[in-house]
Structure 1
Amino acid sequence: DAQVKVRGFRIEPGEVEAHLLAHPRCREAAVSAAKRGAEAHLVAYVAGRGGAEADLAAVLAAHLAERLPAHMRPSLIVVLPALPRLASGKLDRAGLPAPEWKAGAYAPPRGATEERLAGLWASLLGLERVGRDDGFFALGGHSLLAAKLVQRIREEMGAHIGLPAFYAAPNLAALAALIDDADEARALNDIDALLAEWEEA
Structure 2
Amino acid sequence: YNLYGPTEAAVEITYQRLDEVGDTVPIGVPVWNSTAYVLDGRLNRVPDGVPGELYVGGVQLARGYAARPDLTADRFLADPFGAPGSRMYRTGDLVRRNASGELEYLGRTDFQVKLRGQRIELGEIEAAIAQAPGVVHTVVTVAKAPDGGEHLVAYVAAAAGEVLDLDAVKAATVASLPEYMRPTVWMPVEEMPL
- Bin the TM-score by the shorter chain: 0.3 to 0.5
Higher share of residues assigned helix: 1
Higher RCO (C-alpha 8 Å, min separation 6): 1
Q: Given the two structures, how large is their TM-score scaled by the length of structure 1?
A: 0.39
Q: Given the two structures, how large is their TM-score scaled by the length of structure 2?
A: 0.40
